[in-house]
Structure 1
Amino acid sequence: MFIHTIKAMTIKEIHPASYHPIADLITYNPLPSEKLRQIDPFIFLNHHGFQTYPKNNLGLPFGPHPHRGMETVTFILAGDIMHQDSGGHESVIASGGIQWMTAGRGLIHSEVSSSAFKKEGGDLEILQLWINLPAKLKMTEPRYVGLQKEEINHFELSEGKVSVQMIAGDWDGNQGSFETLSPMFLSTITMAKGGKFNKSIPVGENVFFYVVRGEVKILGEKIPFRNLVEFTNDGGNLSVEAFEDSVLILGHAKPFNEPMVAQGPFVMNTQQEIMEAYRDYQQGKFGTWKH
C-alpha cells in the first residue's frame, strides 16, 4: 500500500508591518519593506485601523489622485469607502465589501468616507492591496467594480469555523466574484478559534499571506496579526489553524518576472515610462476630475 502525502509549504520569512500613520489614520505597512520589495505580482499593502472615529469626523484622507500600471484591491472590514473616479464610476461600499480597480493606462480616483460615516462616526478597518499588471497590460482600459458583502461568493470549512470570501480564482469549484486580467487566487478568510483549513498551492506560484486580526499557526509557528508570511514558491500544502478568532488575506499567483519601477502612484517597467506617466497626467490624459 502506498500513501501519497503532499509536502507542506515552507516559510521563508515573517515580516511584521511597520507603523506609518497618515494624518489621524492608523496605518501599518508590511509590503514593501526593507527586506521585501514585492511578492510578485503583489507589490504593496496598507492596513488602516482598527480604530473608532468620533461623530463629525473628517473620514479617510484619500482625495483625488492618479494611478497607472497597476490594480488596487480594497478590503473594507469595518466602516465604508465612497469611491469616485474620472471614468465616471461611483459607489459606497460598506463593511465586508470589496473594491477592485484596474488603473491600466491611467485614471484619477478618490477614496473617502461617506457623508453618513463622517457624520455618525464608527469603527474603521480597511486594507488596500496593490497588484502589478504585466507589461502587455500596463496600458489597458481602466475599470472599476465594487461589490457589497452579500454580492461576493463565500463558502465554509471546518464545520463552519472557517468562512472563505472568494474574491478571485477557484477553490474546489467555488468561483471568485471578480474577473481578473491575469490568473490569480485571492480571498479573505475569517476563522473562529480552533478553525482549520488546508489549501494546495501550485508549484511556481507566489503566496500572499497576511494576518489582519487574531493569531494563527502555520507549521507549528504562531503568526500574530499585522504580520506578512513569505513562503518559498515550490508549492505544497498550506495548513492553517486559528489560535483565536482571526482574519487573514490569502492570495497566490504566478510571478510576472519583469522589471518593476514604482514611483508615487505609478507602477511601470522603466523609469522612462514613469516620466511619461507624470507627463500624461499633467497633460490631462488621465481624464478630468468633475466631482
Structure 2
Amino acid sequence: MKKQTSFSTKGQRADLGPLQIQRMLPNRYADAVGPFVFLDYVAPAIKETINKNGMGAHPHRGIATLTYILQGEVEHFDSAGNTGKIYSGGMQWMKAGNGIIHDENFNYDSQTDSKYIHGFQFWLNLPSKNKAEKPEHIAIQANEVLQKQLADNGGWLKVIVGNYKSSSSKIPNYSEQFLYHIHLEAGKSFTLNFKDKIEVAAFLPTYNAILNDTEFHKGDFVEFDRNSGDIEIKNTSEKVIDIMLFGGESYTEAIIAEGPFIMNTHAEIAEAYRDFYAGKYGEIKINNKNENYKK
C-alpha cells in the first residue's frame, strides 16, 4: 500500500545576506518531521566574491545542525575550537549539545570554476539525555558520503543521515532517523518502504517528480501520513531529477523552541539564554590567537 500525502507547501522566503533562502520547516502545517525541526533551502545562486567574515556568529543548544552543500563551499568555525571546510557534495554536522557559538562561510567552490552555491541546512532535535553533552563537529567530503547505486541503472542514493539496508552514514544517530539524496535517471522509478509511525517528508530541489501517482513541482515540500507503506518516486521526464527524502520516528518529548535554542521546558530555554549571556558558550577564535573570529 502506498502512503498518502498529508500536505505540500512552498515554504516561505527567509533570505540571509546574499543567500536566497526558502524556509521549508517549520511551516504552517508541521513543526517537525521525525527529529528534523528546521530546514533552510539555499536556492541556486551565483556568488562572485569570497566571504571571509562569516554569515554571523550565533549560539545553539539542544540540537545538531547539518549542512549539505550540493554546489559551493562551506567553512565552519565554532567556540569549541572546531574548524572545517567542505566542498560541493560534502556535508558537516555539529552537535550543539550544552551550548556552542558557531559561524559559517557559504562561498563558491574554490576547487572548481563554478560560481554557484546550492544546498541545505537542517536542524535535528536531540533527545533530552543528549542535550547536556559536549559539542562535537564532523566534516565529511563528497567522496566520503555513502552512495548506493539503484537497480536497473536507475541512478543513486546518498545516505546523508541514518541507515540504508546494511550501510550507515558517518553522522551519529540518536534516534531512528534518515536523510537520503536520491538522484533518479530519466524514465526510471524507485520505491522505498516505511514502517508504521515513521514520519517522512520529501523536498524537490531541481525538477518535478511523481510521488505515489501525484505530480509535485520543483520547490515543493511534501509530507506523508504516518501509516506503514511505500513511497514510489517516478521520473517521467527526459531529465535527471533529485529528491531529498527525510524523517524518522516521532519525537515524543516536549519541544520548546525559542530562537536558536530547542529544549524540553521553558526553564531550560531560560537557562540556555542565561548561560549564553554569561559567556559560558565561549568565543570563536582562529589561528590559536586570542582574537575573536566574530563577536
**TM-score (ref. length: structure 1):** 0.90
| Equivalent residues of 1:16, 1:30 under 8 A apart | yes
Q: Which runs of 5+ in 2 are unaligned?
A: 287-295
Q: Does 1:74 align with 2:67?
A: yes
In the alignment, what sits opposite 1:4?
none
Residue identity matched to 1:71: A
Q: Does 1:23 align with 2:17?
A: yes
Q: Does 1:179 align with 2:169?
A: no
CA distance in 2, matches of 1:33, 1:49: 18
Q: Does 1:208 align with 2:201?
A: yes
**Deviating runs (4+, > 6 A) in structure 1?**
none
CA distance in 1, matches of 2:162, 2:77: 26
Name the SS for the 1:91 alignment partner: strand
Q: 1:257 aligns with which of 241, 246, 252?
A: 252
| Equivalent residues of 1:30, 1:226 under 8 A apart | no
Label 1:282 to 1:196 Cα distance change in 2 as closer, same or farther (>3 A).
same
Residue identity matched to 1:169: G
Q: 1:275 aligns with which of 270, 278, 283?
A: 270
Q: C-alpha deviations, 1:136-172, integer Å up to 9, x for none?
A: 2211221111100101111111423321111233222
| Equivalent residues of 1:60, 1:113 under 8 A apart | no
Label 1:132 to 1:116 Cα distance change in 2 as closer, same or farther (>3 A).
closer
Shift of 1:75: 0.9
Residue identity matched to 1:45: L
Q: Does 1:285 align with 2:280?
A: yes
Shift of 1:114: 5.7
- Size of the aligned set, in residue pairs, is 282
Name the SS for the 2:56 alignment partner: strand
Q: Which runs of 5+ in 1 are unaligned?
A: 1-6
Label 1:91 to 1:156 Cα distance change in 2 as closer, same or farther (>3 A).
same
Q: Does 1:85 align with 2:78?
A: yes
Q: Does 1:234 align with 2:234?
A: no
Q: C-alpha deviations, 1:90-111, integer Å up to 9, x for none?
A: 1110000011111111111111
Matches within 5 A, 1:127-142: 127-142=120-135
Residue identity matched to 1:257: T
Q: Percent identity?
A: 28
Q: C-alpha deviations, 1:43-91, integer Å up to 9, x for none?
A: 111011201112x354795222110001111110010100111112111
Q: Which moved more, 1:124-133 or 1:185-194?
A: 185-194
Name the SS for the 1:280 alignment partner: helix
Taking only aligned residues, the RMSD between alpha carbons, in angstroms, comes to 2.0
In the alignment, what sits opposite 1:3?
none
| Equivalent residues of 1:258, 1:269 under 8 A apart | yes
CA distance in 2, matches of 1:25, 1:167: 23
| Equivalent residues of 1:53, 1:121 under 8 A apart | no
